[in-house]
Structure 1
Amino acid sequence: MNRLESAIPLLLQQLKTFPQQDLVIVFPDDGATKRFKDMFSVYSFVTCAKVRNGDHCNVVVKDGDPNGKHVVIVDDLVQTGGTLIECAKACLGKGATKVSGFVTHAVFPKNSWSKFAHSSNPSVKFETFWITDSIPHSRDIAKNEPFKLLSLSALIADRLLGYDLVPSV
């Protein structure tokens, strides 16, 4: 039997440190909404979408309301980060007060993570960008603000050994 396992419990542990009413979970597209929405049942959520206008593509808020909220954009992986940045801009344009992000797999080829680094003066400032150690270079990326590394080791041990090292949320 195949099972989809996720690193979302690691993020949920982090989100417990924020007032729930101040947060909204944002999915950058319908695919992320379908994959992850049920894991965030206690939070409001927003779905963004790419809208084509001729040769130009814009990311817009499709469903939900980020106004007055700290938005946390959730996806399974990031490459260049363009969609996440455009999703953040769309939410800020609709009144979001802060932006954070979470991805399980921080691929970031050719140092594309640097567009999120506070020292690079990004066009959108992410408060926190949680990544996991699923990719070896994640440890180096996490040495830079706003990145925070979450280890998969306890989740993997839970699944392999049947332990309860990651508290349920």
Structure 2
Amino acid sequence: MAAISAQLASFKSFSSLLNDKKCSRFRCQIKSFGNQHSNWSVEFLSGKESVHLIRNSSPPISMAASAAGSAVKPAKKVCLFYCAETEVLAKRIAAESDAIELRSINWRTFDDGFPNLFIPNANGIRGQNVAFLASFSSPAVIFEQLSVIYALPKLFISSFTLVLPFFPTGTSERMEDEGDVATAFTLARILSHIPTSRGGPTSLVTFDIHALQERFYFGDTILPCFESGIPLLKNRLQKLPDSDKISIAFPDDGAWKRFHKQLQHFPTFTKIKWMDIIWKFSFG
């Protein structure tokens, strides 16, 4: 106890309090001392030379920790739009979370076949996080969906995310002869011109794109996010009773280079090499 008094008295502020006759009593708190991390209080009474060291029964809870514990971050609400081909998938996604609100679009056409589109309750999505589940399954449906994709960010929404499960022109990503048209770059340029929303550039989510370098086909006004369904496939295959007998066949060397690292738990081979083996085995 004397050592504690001597150590505290070495501080100028504490010494002034000891010599101050107007100060009859003061109390301070020590959260840790030496290797002990218990909660202690030091109490001094004027007119006495002793200092009382009191151990509190329970440590105090800081206001910051209490506020952090009581504050629950609300779930991020998302308004999900969809096209006719992705309606079933959109409903399944919305059923998985209460934070997703389905919104529909009136997909109509004029007599000449061109789109006659309408977004119901457009004012109701102002300030909301909006996503569109697209499907570019054929050139006939791309234009009408692009019309909606270009219109949604301009409705004063907080953020916009385009979910394109399949990037249809991904395999046409390079030129082999002069005159070849890399349509993957063309579609990437079209999507790069989607207007920005209040929150910034559009986020593009697509799955298992043909080549990872296609990321650089997009401009700076869109943020491509490449996801993969291979982990889901691998998880499903590993649950099969005869998973130890499964081998993965790739159609060519390009597919092997793209995905073999994600499927390295299974024996793999390419179709070309396997056909060479069959040919040599059959015809010598």
TM-score by length of 2: 0.41
Structure 1 or 2, whichever has the larger Rg, is: 2
Deviates more, 1:146-155 or 1:73-82: 73-82
Structure-2 separation of matches of 1:131 and 1:33: 18
Shift in Å at residue 107 of structure 1?
0.7
CA 1:73–1:38: 2 relative to 1, 3 Å: same
Deviates more, 1:34-43 or 1:152-161: 34-43
CA 1:63–1:79: 2 relative to 1, 3 Å: farther
Which residue number corresponds to residue 210 of structure 2?
Answer: 136
| Aligned mate of 1:20, from 68, 73, 76 | 76
Structure-2 separation of matches of 1:53 and 1:73: 23
1:103-122 superposed matches below 5 A:
103-108=164-169, 110=183, 111-117=186-192, 122=193
CA 1:88–1:75: 2 relative to 1, 3 Å: closer
Structure-2 separation of matches of 1:79 and 1:27: 16
Shift in Å at residue 39 of structure 1?
1.8
Shift in Å at residue 96 of structure 1?
3.0
Shift in Å at residue 152 of structure 1?
1.8
Structure-1 separation of matches of 2:195 and 2:90: 24
2:195 matches 1:124:
yes
| Aligned mate of 1:85, from 134, 140, 146 | 146
Shift in Å at residue 102 of structure 1?
0.9
Code of the aligned partner of 1:73 = F
CA 1:28–1:152: 2 relative to 1, 3 Å: same
Q: Which runs of 5+ in 2 are unaligned?
A: 1-73, 173-182, 241-284
Shift in Å at residue 62 of structure 1?
4.8
The structure showing larger relative contact order (alpha-carbon pairs under 8 Å, at least 6 residues apart) is: 1
Structure-2 separation of matches of 1:62 and 1:102: 21
Give the percent of matched residue pairs that are identical in Structure 1 and Structure 2: 9
Shift in Å at residue 132 of structure 1?
0.9
TM-score by length of 1: 0.65
Shift in Å at residue 115 of structure 1?
0.9
Structure with the bigger percentage of strand: 1
| Aligned mate of 2:116, from 41, 58, 67 | 58
Q: Which runs of 5+ in 1 are unaligned?
A: 1-17, 164-169
CA 1:91–1:127: 2 relative to 1, 3 Å: closer
Which residue number corresponds to residue 73 of structure 1?
Answer: 132
Code of the aligned partner of 1:107 = P
Contact 2:194 2:202 in 1 (8 A): no
Contact 1:48 1:59 in 2 (8 A): yes
Structure-2 separation of matches of 1:37 and 1:63: 19
Superposition RMSD on alpha carbons, in Å? 3.0
Which residue number corresponds to residue 60 of structure 2?
Answer: none
CA 1:93–1:51: 2 relative to 1, 3 Å: farther
CA 1:116–1:158: 2 relative to 1, 3 Å: same
